[in-house]
């Protein structure tokens, strides 16, 4: 790229970045409370996001939110070899220069990703003989380190060099240089970027498994040999329901920390599209998982930074690789999701606020039916036995008739919910009452008992039970209903609630 063109690109990028930062003063907050950056700073940690060039220069809100919420950024693709070297004698640094200028204007650290990776190589380089490819890679690494001198706080020096069994991959560059081509890249990075932390980065190594065991052995060997590895990045491309147990994550962080390594969670996203159920339910599953994993990082001194791999569900590689999904902290409209609040709470040492989101009108029927109806007979909100408004179902002609409410928009596979209700009956003597779930999905129609009790006329009986259903697509309907008394006897409902079933006490409410 010619010098004048490069200068114009830098000027445009820096001016745009400064404009975004200036706009923050009058912009409404993405959410009440501290930003993610402020919350992470309280723990002494960095929290970052992968940034793409095109939305950064085209979408003002994208850049504004990144500048507001995060303390570090990672150029998602712009520092990889292929985008900056479309031909053997052509180098275009403009895209990553723009991203780095925006980070500098916002006072953010930069994580460089990546110096050595056998993927996303220029097509012309892939066609080279093995030794020539290795030589070209080394020249690219040295040029990039020189061009970014003093501007990168952390480098993913080597990316994804392991097979699933924990052995080092025998790539074309391996054939030419052996394991030394990996360790030499670390030594070159230390020599040319002495101020930067140098990391090995990989996927599928978050828990304890053959690949992470192999990584641990390699890093221990390299550290003993004086290879300048400062840390390891656990990518954390997770799939809800299939993520390693959080206890394994902590054990892995501890053993890596025992080698004197910093541990970063570097490419966090959580796929949920495979879960049967509602979007809200999927978001809640995701939020619970992220709260647990961020909480684990905060609890382990060796875990010093987290990076989310994309800003929003509209800016994610997952959609292109696996299909439309909801893997990140902000939705398509850049509004914070349940996961945003869960991550912030974990950084602040607070319980997962997802557990405090009320999915039904809490405390009674002072604002009307609240989505409830009668499955038979007549339903009406009237003054109840305790003096306040309650839902009465009269004119019942069968024991199963009573108050019912659709909750399809609150369920998902892997999401335990807890349903509660206060129930009483009208004149006619004591009667059995039950809280039941009615499910219609790909497995057919079924009735799931949640709680049962004996109700006395005019006295409230509490019914409470866990709603945890193995759903099968398509999920057509999930309803909560109260049943039990003989036909003709009135059935009353008050104090109904539905929340995520969390073992710890819930904190303050957040918006549903």
333 a catalytic residue: no
Cα distance between residue 354 and residue 260, in whole Å = 35
Is 10:4 a contact under the CB 8 Å cutoff? Answer: no
d(CA 86, CA 94): 13
3 state DSSP class of 98: helix
Catalytic residue among 69, 267, 295, 483: 267
Of the candidates 317, 296, 315, the residue with the CA atom closest to the CA atom of residue 306: 296
- Residue 69: name the closest of 319, 287, 339 by CA: 339
| 3-class DSSP assignment, residue 195 | coil
**Which of these, 506, 504, 433, lies nearest to 464 by C-alpha position?**
433
Cβ 136 vs Cβ 122: under 8 Å: no
Q: Is the peptide bond before 218 cis (omega within 30 degrees of 0)?
A: no
CA distances from 127 to 79, 83, 271, 501 (A): 21, 17, 35, 55
Distance of CA 115 to the CA centre of its chain: 26
DSSP string for 72-113: EEEESSTTSHHHH-SBTTB---HHHHHHHHHHHHHT-EEEEE
Encoding tokens for residue 206? Answer: 């978050």
- Catalytic member of 69, 76, 160, 300: 160
Contact criterion met (CB below 8 Å) for 200 and 233: yes
Instruction: Give how far Cα 15 sits from Cα of 79, 145, 148, 385, Å.
Output: 21, 25, 20, 67
Structural tokens at position 509? 């409410």
Q: Do the Cβ atoms of 264 and 304 come closer than 8 Å?
A: yes
The helix (run of H) or strand (run of E) holding residue 435 is: strand 431-441
267 is a catalytic site residue:
yes
Catalytic residue IDs = 160, 267
């Amino acid at each position: 790229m010619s010098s004048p063109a490069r200068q114009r690109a830098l000027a445009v990028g820096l001016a745009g970045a400064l404009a975004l930062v200036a706009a923050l003063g009058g912009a409404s907050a993405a959410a009440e409370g501290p930003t993610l950056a402020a919350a992470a700073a309280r723990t002494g940690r960095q929290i970052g996001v992968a940034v793409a060039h095109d939305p950064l220069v085209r979408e003002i809100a994208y850049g504004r939110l990144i500048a507001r919420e995060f303390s570090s950024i990672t150029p998602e693709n712009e520092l990889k070899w292929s985008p900056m070297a479309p031909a053997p004698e052509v180098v275009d640094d403009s895209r990553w220069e723009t991203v780095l200028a925006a980070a500098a204007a916002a006072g953010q650290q930069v994580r460089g990703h990546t110096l050595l990776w056998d993927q996303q190589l220029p097509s012309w380089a892939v066609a080279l003989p093995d030794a020539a490819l290795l030589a070209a890679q080394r020249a690219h690494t040295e040029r990039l380190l020189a061009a970014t001198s003093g501007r990168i706080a952390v480098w993913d020096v080597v990316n994804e060099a392991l097979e699933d069994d924990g052995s080092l991959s025998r790539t074309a560059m391996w054939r030419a240089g052996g394991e030394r081509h990996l360790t030499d890249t670390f030594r070159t990075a230390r020599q040319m970027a002495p101020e930067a932390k140098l990391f090995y980065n990989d996927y599928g190594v978050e828990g304890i498994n053959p690949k992470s065991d192999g990584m641990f052995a390699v890093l221990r060997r390299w550290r003993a040999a004086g290879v300048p590895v400062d840390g390891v990045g656990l990518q954390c491309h997770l799939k809800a329901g299939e993520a390693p147990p959080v206890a394994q994550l902590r054990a892995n962080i501890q053993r890596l920390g025992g080698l004197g390594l910093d541990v970063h969670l570097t490419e966090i996203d959580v796929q949920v599209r495979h879960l049967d159920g509602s979007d809200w339910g999927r978001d809640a599953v995701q939020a619970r998982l992220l709260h647990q994993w961020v909480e684990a990082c905060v609890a382990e001194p060796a875990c010093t930074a987290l990076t989310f791999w994309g800003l929003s569900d509209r800016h994610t590689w997952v959609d292109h690789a696996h299909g439309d999904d909801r893997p990140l902290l902000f939705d398509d409209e850049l509004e914070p999701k349940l996961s945003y609040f869960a991550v912030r709470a974990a950084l602040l040492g607070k319980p997962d606020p997802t557990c405090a989101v009320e999915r039904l009108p809490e405390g009674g029927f002072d604002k009307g039916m609240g989505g409830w109806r009668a499955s038979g007979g007549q339903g009406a909100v009237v003054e109840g036995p305790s003096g306040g408004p309650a839902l009465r179902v009269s004119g019942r002609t069968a024991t199963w008739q009573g108050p019912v409410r659709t909750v399809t928009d609150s369920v998902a596979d892997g999401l335990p919910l807890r349903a509660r209700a206060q129930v009483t009956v009208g004149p006619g003597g004591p009667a059995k009452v039950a809280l039941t779930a009615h499910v219609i999905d790909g497995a057919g129609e079924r009735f799931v008992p949640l709680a049962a009790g004996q109700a006395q006329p005019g006295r409230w009986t509490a019914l409470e039970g866990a709603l945890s259903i193995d759903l099968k697509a398509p999920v057509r309907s999930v309803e909560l209903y109260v049943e039990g008394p003989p036909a003709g006897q009135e059935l009353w409902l008050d104090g109904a609630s539905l929340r995520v079933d969390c073992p710890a006490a819930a904190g303050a409410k957040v918006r549903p």
